[in-house]
Each structure stands twice: as structure tokens, then as C-alpha cells.
């Protein structure tokens, strides 16, 4: 997931949760949290307990999130957010809690509405985690046209450029989908498998080489022992857990979108 993709995700997240963006450049956002969002992500239970007990006016926190530290030269201080960072992972979890599925419609000019046809799309954001002795995470946004079956990447960027609302505009025609969302989800999962297959497998091969090397060192220290002690068994199990390559695919969120 590139810095600009993370930046767009953060902007949409805080816009959708009604947190005003006070200042923004291409590489950072300064956000005024709402009371609800402060309680969810800032881990200040004692503050909120105190404020509510004495009925004091609450002061939700402000956040400065830096999405590309390499581009900042003015010494700005803030929290660097990147793929795999605790803050981004936290916001993914909050997104799931607040609702991982939406149904939205592109808005059109009233005078053009009677001539407008909206096409159904299924959009899904996937997080792929590659884990062994190191961890790499990637985010893919895929969209499928439910009329034609065409699949597009970077679908999230398409959505951010549209004026979307959770109620349909008046007097437009919504095409009924030919491909059901359930079937489309299966096909998107196949597309994700294809993306995984295209990945460079060197990360897994390197893990196996290091595993073999560390296993040889472990065997050397216990060489000559007929009955291996429990410590050997535990170290061997820990080594297997550490170096076994694993791939995990999670759906961050998704929805049905009717677009022009």
C-alpha cells in the first residue's frame, strides 16, 4: 500500500466518521477527533471517566498523521502511519466495528437525472499479510462490474473521485445486477489469489534457508544425545512457528456501489 493510498484511506475514514480535517497537505493530515472517535482510538478511559463524572466540557484530542515522512522538510511532529503500523491496524479494526459493508449511490445533477443509468459494482478492500521471520502487509482495492464481470484494481481511488451518498438520487434508473454479489465475491477472491501468485517467492525461500541454518545450529548443540530434552523440542517448535511462511487474506470492508 503506497503512501498516497494510505493518505486517501485516512481522509475518507475521518470524513466518514465526521472528524474535521483541520490542515492537510499531500503528506500529512491534522484531524480534530469527535468525542466518539477519541474514546475509540486514543485510549484515555480515565480522562473520559473524570470529565463525565464532573460534567466538564469535553476536549477531544487532535491527531497529526504523517503519511510520507520522506517528503516533509519542515520538522513537523506527528505520528507516522504506514502499512503495518499500529495506528493503521487500529483504524482497520474500527472500520470493521463501525460497519464493513455499505450500499452507496453516485449523485447526479437533477436536470440530468432522467437520462442517467447507474451500474452496480461490488467493491472490496483486501489486506494481505505475508508472515514468517518478517511480516509484509499489502492492501488491494478491487471492484467488479456486476453487469459485465470486469475487474479493476485501485477501485478505492475511483470511489473517492465520485460524489456518493447512501440514498439513491431521484429519477435515475438503477440497473439490476446480472452477477450476484455473492458470486462476484468468489471471483474477486480468485483475483486476489492471482495477485498472490504473482508475488516474488523469495521471502518464503529466504525463510526456509534461515530455518535450515538455525536448525543445523540447534542440532549441533544437542549432537550425541540419544533422548532429546524438552528444551530441544520447545526450541524446534518455536523455530517452526517463526519460519513457516504464512499468507493471510482479510476483508477490510466492502460494499455495493451504483455508479454512472
Residue pair 23/72 in contact (Cβ under 8 Å)? The answer is: no
Residue pair 147/180 in contact (Cβ under 8 Å)? The answer is: no
pLDDT in tens, 46-55: 999 999 889 8
- Between helices 3-16 and 86-98, what is the axis angle to 10°? 40
DSSP alpha helix (H) spans, 135-180? 155-160
pLDDT value of residue 114: 63
pLDDT value of residue 154: 92
Give the single-character DSSP code of 18. Answer: T
What distance in Å separates the CA atoms of residue 229 and residue 233, rounded to the nearest whole number?
7
pLDDT value of residue 146: 94
pLDDT band at 97 (very low <50, low <70, confident <90, very high): confident
Strand partners of residue 118: 174
Percentage of residues in the chain having pLDDT higher than 70 = 96
What distance in Å separates the CA atoms of residue 63 and residue 50, rounded to the nearest whole number?
21
Cut 0.95: pTM above it: no
pLDDT band at 229 (very low <50, low <70, confident <90, very high): confident
Model confidence at 158: pLDDT above 80: yes
Q: What is the mean pLDDT of residues 67-96?
A: 82
pLDDT band at 147 (very low <50, low <70, confident <90, very high): very high
Q: What is the mean pLDDT of residues 16-35?
A: 90
Query: Is the CA virtual torsion 219, 222, 226, 227 positive or negative?
Result: negative
Strand partners of residue 258: 105, 120
184 grid coordinates:
462476484
Cα dihedral angle (198, 199, 205, 206), rounded to 10 degrees?
160
pLDDT band at 166 (very low <50, low <70, confident <90, very high): confident
Cα dihedral angle (77, 79, 80, 83), rounded to 10 degrees?
-170
Model confidence at 115: pLDDT above 80: no
pLDDT value of residue 242: 86
Residue pair 29/21 in contact (Cβ under 8 Å)? The answer is: yes
Residue pair 168/174 in contact (Cβ under 8 Å)? The answer is: yes
Q: How far is CA 6 from CA 15, 75, 101, 257, in A?
A: 14, 21, 20, 21
Residue pair 63/214 in contact (Cβ under 8 Å)? The answer is: no
Q: What is the mean pLDDT of residues 45-67?
A: 90
Q: What is the mean pLDDT of residues 183-208?
A: 90
Give the CA count within 13 Å in the CB-facing half-sphere of 233. 4
Residue pair 257/121 in contact (Cβ under 8 Å)? The answer is: yes
What distance in Å separates the CA atoms of residue 125 and residue 6, rounded to the nearest whole number?
12
Is beta strand 117-131 parallel, antiparallel or unpaired with respect to 101-106? unpaired
pLDDT band at 203 (very low <50, low <70, confident <90, very high): confident
pLDDT value of residue 113: 54
Amino acid at each position: 500500500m503506497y503512501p498516497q493510498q494510505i493518505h486517501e484511506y485516512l481522509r475518507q475514514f475521518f470524513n466518514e466518521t465526521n472528524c474535521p480535517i483541520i490542515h492537510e497537505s499531500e503528506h500529512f493530515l491534522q484531524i480534530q477527533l469527535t468525542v466518539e472517535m477519541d474514546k475509540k482510538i486514543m485510549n484515555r478511559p480515565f480522562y473520559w471517566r473524570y470529565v463525565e463524572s464532573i460534567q466538564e466540557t469535553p476536549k477531544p484530542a487532535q491527531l497529526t498523521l504523517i503519511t510520507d515522512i520522506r517528503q516533509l522538510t519542515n520538522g513537523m511532529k506527528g505520528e507516522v502511519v504506514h502499512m503495518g503500523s499500529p495506528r493503521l491496524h487500529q483504524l482497520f479494526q474500527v472500520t470493521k466495528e463501525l460497519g464493513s459493508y455499505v450500499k452507496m449511490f453516485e449523485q447526479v445533477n437533477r436536470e440530468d437525472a432522467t437520462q442517467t443509468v447507474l451500474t452496480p459494482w461490488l467493491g472490496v478492500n483486501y489486506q494481505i499479510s505475508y508472515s514468517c521471520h518478517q511480516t509484509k502487509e499489502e492492501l488491494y482495492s478491487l471492484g467488479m462490474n456486476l453487469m459485465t464481470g470486469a475487474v479493476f484494481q485501485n477501485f478505492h481511488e475511483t470511489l473517492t473521485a465520485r460524489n456518493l451518498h447512501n440514498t439513491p438520487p431521484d429519477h435515475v434508473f438503477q440497473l439490476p445486477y446480472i452477477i450476484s454479489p455473492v458470486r462476484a465475491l468468489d471471483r474477486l477472491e480468485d483475483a486476489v489469489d492471482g495477485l498472490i501468485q504473482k508475488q516474488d517467492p523469495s521471502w518464503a525461500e529466504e525463510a526456509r534457508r534461515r530455518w535450515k541454518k538455525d536448525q543445523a545450529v540447534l542440532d549441533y548443540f544437542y549432537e550425541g544425545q540419544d533422548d532429546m530434552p524438552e528444551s530441544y523440542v520447545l526450541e524446534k517448535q518455536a523455530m517452526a512457528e517463526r519460519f513457516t511462511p504464512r499468507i493471510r487474506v482479510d476483508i477490510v470492508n466492502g460494499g455495493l456501489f451504483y455508479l454512472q
